[in-house]
Amino acid sequence: MDLVFTAPLPPEMPLRAAIRDAHRLDEATADAAILAAADMPLEARERVAATARRLVEAVRRERLGKGGLDAFLHEYALSS
């Protein structure tokens, strides 16, 4: 019987090795690794929070007067 695949398998890539190692990993170990990887210094967390606050405040300012009846009247002119 002839072999269909005669070339040797390529070497395992790092991503594939990581997936293989994580397969069936218990949840507590996986959670600990994810939390450790996601850890940020306090200064970085404060910058992220400040940026998020500025973005939310800007969106809220932009929405003022554009909800409810104002949005309806903006979408459909009284002449329609």
Global confidence as pTM: 0.46
Higher pLDDT, 42 or 73: 42
In this prediction, residues 71-80 reach a mean pLDDT of 66
Tokens coding 9: 């398998």
Residue 31 Cα distances to 20, 22, 43, 70, angstroms: 17, 11, 24, 47
In this prediction, residues 11-26 reach a mean pLDDT of 92
In this prediction, residues 30-55 reach a mean pLDDT of 94
Whether 44 is covered by a domain: the verdict is yes
Domain count, the chain: 1
**Parent domain of 27:** 14-75
Whether 7 is covered by a domain: the verdict is no
